[in-house]
Each structure stands twice: as C-alpha cells, then as structure tokens.
Amino acid sequence: MGLLSKKDAALIKDPLADNNPITIQVLGICSALAITAELEAAIVMSISVLFVLGIGNVVISLMRNIIPSKIRIIVQLIVVAALVIIVDQVLKAFAYELSKTLSVFVGLIITNCIIMGRFEAFALGNGPWRSFLDGIGNSLGYGVILIIVAFFRELLGAGTLLGFKVLGDPIEKTGVYAFGYENNGFMLLAPMALIVVGIIIWVQRSRNEALIED
Amino acid sequence: MGLKEKLHNFKVKNKDKKWLPAFSAIHTFLYLPNETTHNGTHIKAADDLKRTMNTVIMAMIPCLIFGMFNAGYQHNLQVGEAQAVAGSFFSSEFWTMANFMIGFWKILPLVIVSYGVGLGIEFIFAIIKGHEVEEGYLVTGMLVPLIVPVDIPLWMLAVAVVFGVVIGKEVFGGTGMNILNPALTIRAFLFFAYPTWMSGDKVWVEGAVERTNEILAGANLDAISGETILGSLAQGKEAGYGVMDMFLGFIPGSVGETSTLLILLGGLFLIFAKIGSWRIMLSSALGAIVMGLIFNQVVDSGWITESSKFYGLMSTTWWHHLLIGGFAFGTVFMATDPVTASQTNKGKWIYGFLIGFISILIRVFNPAYPEGVMLAILLMNVFAPTIDHYVVQGNVKQRMKRLKAKTA
C-alpha cells in the first residue's frame, strides 16, 4: 500500500488475519452467535460496527488527553451510545425490516467487547489517524469472520444466500428421499455458530503454527 | 512362514510410509502385535481395548437382529401382511423370513455407512497425526444404526457421523479424550438438524415416508404410519400397546432400542464381563423410578387435570417409563461408556441417578423432545468430571481429617 506507511498498513492487515478480534482474541462472540443466521444481517452488522468503531476511535483519540482516567469508561460509553443511536435511527429510517431482525443487537453494539477493547487498548494511547486505521482494521476483521460464518449458516441452514434460494427447496420437502438436499436446521441454532467459529480457528491455527498456544 | 509373520515383515519393510497407521490398524485388529512396551511399568491384561469393544458389540448383536425383524414386522403390520403379535415372544408372525429380509436390507446399509464413514475419518486422522488408529469407533459404529429411525436417509447419517466423530471426538484428541459420547452426539446432531426425519409418526415404520410421498404424487394407496409410544403419550393419546409388547419390543421406535428384554440381557452380559458398570445402570433406573413416582404422585394428588398438556406422560405408570422409548438402551449402552461417565464409584451413583431423574423430567416437561434420555446423558457427560472432582476432593478432606485426628 503506497498510501500508508508500513506501520500503518499493519494496523489494517493484522486484525484481518493473525490478530483477528474474533478468532484470535475471542472477543465479540456474542454478536457473532446472534446475528449470523442470515448473511444480510451479518453484513449490516459489520457495516454498523465499522462505522461505530472507526468514528468512535477517532473521537476518543482526540479527547484522550482531556479525559480524566477515573471516568474514562463513562465517557467511552457515551461516545459509543451516541454513535449507536445514529446507526439505529438510520436503520429504522431506511431499512426497517432489517432493523427488526437485528432488533436488540444494534443497541448491544454498545457492549461489544471489541469496541471498548479498542478504545482502551489503542485509542487512548495513539493519535487520531492511527486510531482511525486501527478501528477500521478491527471492524473489518470482525466483519470478515461474521460474513464467513453467516455465509455457511445461511447456505446450509436455509439453502439461501441473501434471501435467494441457492440449494434445494426448503418449502417443498416432498419427493426427495435419500439423495435430495435438505436444510440442516441445526445450522440455524446458536451452537452451530460457535462450532463454525471454532472450525475457522482450527483452520487458521493449523495454517500458522505461531498462533498455537499451549 | 505364516500369514502373521508375512504381515509383520511387511510392516517392518514399510515403516516410514505415511499410510502405515492404516495398515497397522487392520493388522492389530487381526493379530496381537509382536512388539511390546520396552520401558516403564506396564500391566499385562487380556482385556485390552479391542476386546472390550468387541464384548460390547457382542452384547448389542441381539438388539440388532431383533431390530431387523422388528423393522420388517412394523412394516408388514401396517400394510396388513402380518397379524399383531400380542405379548408372546416366539410368535410365528414375528420371526418370519419376510420380516427379516425387509429389515436386513434396510438396516445393513445403515451399519455399512456408519462404519465406513466413521472408520474412514479415524484412518484419515491417524494418517495425518501419524499415530495408530484407535479402536474407539468400533462400538460407536454399531451404536449409531441402533439409535436412529429405520427410514433415515443414508447421506444424513453420513453427515452426522462426520460431525460426531470430528467435532465430538477428534477435536478433543481422539478416543479416550472425548467429553461427549460420540454416538449420542451423532444422534443429537440428527435430531436438531433434521427433526422431520427424527420424530413424528412416519419415520419409525419402514417405507412410510416413501408411501406418503407417493400418495402426494397421486398414487392410490393407504397411508401407513406408526407413532412411538412416547409420541402418542406426549400428544395425550393412548399408547395402544400392551405392557408385554413394550417389554418384548414389538413397538415402533429406533432400530435397536425397542426390546427391553434383549437390552437387559445385553446389560447382564456386560455386567458379567465386568465391562459395563452396574452402579450406573442401577442408579439410572432408580433415578427414573423416583422421578416417575413423583409425577404419579402429582397426578394422584389432583394437582394437574387431564386438560394439562403434561397429563399424558405424567400419568404414565412409573415403571412403564423404564420400558418405553430409548431409556433402557441409553442406560445400558450409552450411560456406561467408560470414557464419558464418572470414574469414581460414588460419582457413578450420582451420575447415573441424575441421568434417570433428568430423562423422565425432560420427557414429561418437553413434549417436543420426547427422547429425554439422549439429552440427559449428554448433559451428565458434561458434568461427569465435575462430579468426580468433588468426590475425590471429599475423599481427600476426609483423609486429612483422619490424619489430623491420628497425629493430634
């Protein structure tokens, strides 16, 4: 990337792979379980987190020298809450159906461990540009995993992708015996999201031995 | 030079090859290996893993054969080609070749798929990891066809076996390391993934699903169906089978779980061979009886009325619970799995009791999951190490106290 220095580029690249917030730091699992049954919801969630974390990191970074450390958590919460309300209102205005599917989980971005984690670990100690890149990188890393998980869950669980039928016919179950395709209802249940995340972690670590911890 | 030596020489010659674990697996299955451990203390015993596994399989064979007859019998009974046998075990209507052949051709593929896929995965993992193939799948592979409905599509079984063996066992480190019973993991996967094939009144009778589809397509046939006793009771209907039928196993259900008599014989054989734990079997039965009696008491006291959706199963006489559904099979063959059960004797009593207790609880309170025993065993599998921990700690504390009293 010519645009960014090597150090800055690492801020974006690392969370995508070797320092992924979900598969390596195991943060933000709750939302990864809750909204990955449909690909569309996962994509919107990723964009929302991208927005909140990108801007939130910049805001916190700009304020980092004037926040008294005793009340910094409250300040951080107010910043996230403000941003989340913006996202929520925008969704309600322009994608009402979707905001109903995501329901409480948009609001719960406030408690997403990744966001508070990045504020605490990065934005409080770095300048706004680097904080911005860090926020973008981490939310992309989060989004990639979310989308991979949702892809498999929606494809195998409902036979659809973004609502379009891809596999089999989930409604007309008759007439297919033994060789027909049938939706795997287990894929739509929360445990399967954990197992899919687990398989991604497994694949990632067996490709990069340095990530294996004892 | 005998075959044994030839095989051994072949093994020595190819000892650097990647596929060797696959060969050794077949080799050790046929013969005892020539080499033994060289250092450290070791105990020489005849009951190695291979023999243990084979004993359990032998205990299950009667259930399998009965299952084949029963699959055909249930089919012929529904299409009207066989008469109902009322409570006599050696009825000529049941032990017919026609019954057997239907069941045989239906269940043999289940066994083949279960073993083929499961052992295939074990071989792949052994080759990747470079260790010997573990015998763990021998029993699982036989359990799986016995605990699924006879009409389950083969590819579903294959998918479930892949899931059960990889996620249920290999990720934990293979045989002996797994937390959950692999066979039950496979069944639970099927149950949650494809509920239409694991419950309802069609899947338990050979050909019922196919016939329903033909009727939908316009064929002029009578629909056939067979609801399990648990299913009927959960819907508040009469079971429609006599107690003797329940005990002997002339009822619809998963392939090998119906005959309580043969399961009991298998259980006695396991106890006699000192492989199954009688503590777990006995305490599970006790747990189920206690829960059953509590529910009967609730009904007798008039706390719930017939309009309640729990009435059907709650009012079931307490000892009937032991005969219907997969309770007997689960207790004898699944709960006693030495890897996933509690290891301490006191722990086994607690573990077994809670399995029985929770099975009946789930059965009654969640009619959507009539097969409570599967979920109860999986749940207690998870808690077994915790139970052991507290039993051991309790023992340590007691001894410490005794030591103090002695030295003081």
Asked which of B183, B216, B249 is the last residue of a domain, the reply is B216
Q: Would you say B111 and B142 are in contact if contact means Cβ atoms under 8 Å apart?
A: yes
Q: What is the pLDDT of residue A170?
A: 46
Cβ A185–B193 below 8 Å, yes or no? yes
Residue B214 is classified by DSSP as H
Q: What is the pLDDT of residues A1-37, one digit of tens each?
A: 456 777 778 887 888 777 788 888 788 788 778 888 8
Query: How much is the pLDDT for B256?
Result: 85
Residue of B nearest to A176 (CA): B213
Closest residue by Cα to residue A58 from A143, A141, A135, A140? A135
Which is nearest to B360 in space by CA: B370, B348, B350, B349?
A: B370
Q: Is residue B359 part of a domain?
A: yes
Nearest one of B317, B321, B150 to B230, comparing CA atoms: B321
Task: Convert the pLDDT of each residue in B125-180 to its tens digit.
Answer: 888 877 777 777 888 899 999 999 888 888 889 999 999 999 988 888 877 888 89
User: Is B193's CB within 8 Å of A187's CB?
Assistant: yes
When mean pLDDT is compared over B192-201, B249-258, B260-269, the highest value belongs to: B260-269
Amino acid identity at B243: V
Which of A195, A186, A175, A176 has the alpha carbon at shortest distance from B198? Answer: A186
Nearest to A186 by CA among B331, B164, B348, B244: B164
C-alpha span between B20 and B132 (Å, rounded): 9
Residue in chain A lying closest to B158 (CA): A178
| ipTM of the complex model | 0.81
Backbone angles phi, psi at A108, to 5 degrees: -80, 0
What residues contact residue A150 under an 8 Å CB cut-off, 6+ apart? A35, A36, A37, A38, A39, A41, A42, A43
Residue A169 is predicted with a pLDDT of 57
pLDDT at residue A174, rounded to an integer: 46
- Indicate whether A12 belongs to any domain: no
**CA proximity to B260, closest of B233, B288, B232:** B288
* Same domain as B191, residue B95: yes
Q: Would the pLDDT of B393 be above 90?
A: yes
How many CA atoms within 13 Å lie on the side-chain side of B328?
28
β-bridge partners, A160: A165
Residues in chain B: 408
Give the domain-ending residue among B165, B181, B216. Answer: B216
Task: Name the residue with tokens 């399961």.
Answer: B263
pLDDT at residue A178, as a whole number? 39
User: Is the distance from CB of A193 to CB of A30 less than 8 angstroms?
Assistant: no
The total of structural domains in chain B comes to 2
A179 pLDDT above the threshold of 60: no
For residue B310, pLDDT over 80 is answered with no
Contacts of A156 in chain B (CB under 8 A): none
Q: Chain B residues with CB inside 8 Å of A180's CB?
A: 153
Separation of alpha carbons B25 and A175, rounded Å: 41
Q: Which of A177, A185, A195 shows the shortest C-beta gap to B195? A: A185
Residues B60 and B207 in one domain: yes
The upper half-sphere exposure of residue B197, i.e. CA atoms within 13 Å in the direction of its Cβ, equals: 30
Q: Which pLDDT score, from 0 to 100, does residue B357 have?
A: 93
* In the predicted structure, residue B307 carries a pLDDT above the cut 80: no
Q: What are B144's two structure tokens?
A: 């799986």
Number of domains in chain A: 1
Give A177 to chain B, closest Cα distance, Å.
7
Choose the weakest-confidence range: A136-150, B30-44, B72-86: B30-44
* Domain shared by B209 and B285, yes or no: no
Q: Do both B144 and B286 map to the same domain?
A: no
The closest of A97, A124, A113, A131 to A49, measured between CA atoms, is A113
Question: How remote is the C-alpha of A188 from its chain's centroid?
Answer: 18
- Decide if B210 and A179 are in contact by the 8 Å CB cutoff: no
CB contact under 8 Å between A184 and B213, yes or no, is no
Look up tokens 């680097």; give the residue: A130
**Which comes out higher in pLDDT, residue B354 or A103?**
B354
Three-state secondary-structure class, residue B196:
helix
Same domain, B205 and B68: yes
- The dihedral region occupied by B207, where left means phi > 0, alpha psi between -120 and 50, and beta the remainder, is left
In a domain, A171, yes or no: yes
The two structure tokens encoding residue B142: 């036989």
According to DSSP, residue B134 is labeled: P
Residue with tokens 């205005």: A93
A174 φ/ψ sector (left φ>0, alpha ψ -120 to 50, else beta): beta
Residue B263 is predicted with a pLDDT of 92
Mutation test of the interface with chain A: which of B106, B190, B194, B206, choosing the one with the most A Cβ atoms within 10 A? Answer: B194
Q: Which chain B residues are closer than 8 Å to A196 by Cβ?
A: none
- Same domain for B283 and B387, yes or no, is yes
B242 lies in some domain: no
CB of B217 less than 8 A from some CB of A: yes
Quick check: helix, strand or coil at residue A161?
strand
Domain region containing B323: 276-398
Number of A–B residue contacts, CB under 8 Å: 38
Among the partner residues B156, B194, B217, nearest to A175 by beta-carbon distance: B217
Q: Do B281 and B384 sit in the same domain of this protein?
A: yes
In terms of residue numbers, what domain contains A116?
Answer: 20-209
Q: Indicate the average pLDDT of chain A.
A: 82
Mean of all residue pLDDT scores within chain B: 83
Nearest residue to B52 (alpha-carbon basis) of B188, B173, B176: B176
Residues of A in contact with B155 (CB under 8 A): 178-179
pLDDT in tens, B356-390: 999 988 888 876 777 788 999 999 999 999 999 99
Model confidence pLDDT, tens digit, residues B3-27: 777 777 777 777 777 777 777 777 7
Local structure of B218: helix, strand or coil: coil
Residue A175 scores a pLDDT above 60: no
Angle at B199 between CA B196 and CA B201, to 5 degrees: 100
Residue B286 in this model has a pLDDT that exceeds 60: yes
Regarding predicted confidence, which is higher, A145 or A159? A145
Tell me the Cα Rg of chain B. 23
Query: Which residues from B are below 8 Å from A173, CB to CB?
Result: 196
Q: Would you say residue A3 lies in a domain?
A: no
Q: Which residue from B71, B73, B64 is spatially nearest to B91, judged by alpha carbons?
A: B73
pLDDT class of A180 with cuts at 50, 70, 90? low
Residue of A nearest to B109 (CA): A178
Q: How far is CA B288 from CA A98, B285, B327, B358, B405, in A?
A: 47, 5, 9, 8, 41
Q: B329, B267 in Cβ contact below 8 A?
A: no
Dihedrals phi, psi of A165, to nearest 5 degrees: -70, 130
The percentage of residues in chain B with a pLDDT greater than 90, rounded to a whole number, is 27
For chain A, what percent of residues have pLDDT higher than 90?
8
Mean predicted confidence (pLDDT) in A39-49: 87
Within a domain: B43: no
pLDDT value at A173 more than 60: no
Rg (CA), chain A: 19
Q: At A170, which amino acid appears?
A: P
Is residue A1 a part of any domain in this protein?
no
